[in-house]
Amino acid sequence: MFCPRQCALIHMEGVWSENYLTATGRVLHEKVHSGDNEKRGDIIISRSLKLCSNEKGVFGVADLIEFHFSMEKTSSTCYVPGRTGNWIPFPVEYKRGKMKSHRADEVQLCAQALCLEEMLDVVIINGALYYGMDRRRKDVDFDEPLRQLTDEVIQNTRRLLSNMILPKPQHGSQCSACSLVDFCKPQLDQAIREKVFMGIFGSDYEETS
């Protein structure tokens, strides 16, 4: 689903490095975020909307939220300041690459929907992922299995960060594209890796067995 070690390196150890993939992804997000809020027909487009869920203990910034006009007021509609009528929030997350076989992107999008639901007191049915390399938009339904999976990922991530212990690496094909591979050293023997990390982080370094 996601790499616990990468998560811990970034959020616990403050490690970051950029490669071509992260740079192009950053440029794509900056392009999306730099646009003005606008209205296209019956859709209001809001960019860089700050999100937060006190219940889930998560926060972030959405790439883009579409608000679709609705003739009827339902559990999925909300009020938009400065606009009349009923509006259905529809989160859209931009990704630089291609569609993936795992569900990490869907979980990220669902987490945004959970934040919006708490903030706007609505039920969000679906959203979309836009993939830059495919130039395709994939609709995502926020069904119960995806919501449960998202809750599990949030809980596991919070537990990981609260434990303050760096997880062991799981060396695989995905590591070659990771910008932190030189810090992670997934291919090294554990004894050698511990010496490398002790040199970087000193006495604060601890890795799960």
Q: Is pLDDT at 12 greater than 70 in this prediction? A: yes
**pLDDT category, 8, cuts 50, 70, 90?**
confident
Lowest mean pLDDT, pick from 3-17, 29-43, 98-112, 142-156 = 29-43
pLDDT value of residue 190: 57
C-alpha–C-alpha distance, residues 177 and 174, integer Å: 6
Q: What is the mean pLDDT of the chain?
A: 85
**pLDDT category, 184, cuts 50, 70, 90?**
confident
Q: Which amino acid is at 76?
A: S
pLDDT (mean) for 99-110: 93
As given in the structure block, the two tokens for residue 86 are: 């009923």
> pTM of the prediction?
0.78
Q: Please, which residues have CB within 8 angstroms of residue 37's CB and are 6 or more apart in sequence?
A: 44, 45, 46, 47
Strands 38-40 and 43-53, bridge-based pairing: antiparallel
C-alpha–C-alpha distance, residues 117 and 21, integer Å: 32
pLDDT value of residue 207: 59
Q: Under a CB-based contact definition with an 8 Å cutoff, are residues 78 and 70 in contact?
A: no
> Domain spans of the chain?
22-162
Say what percent of the chain tops pLDDT 70: 80
Q: Which amino acid is at 158?
A: R
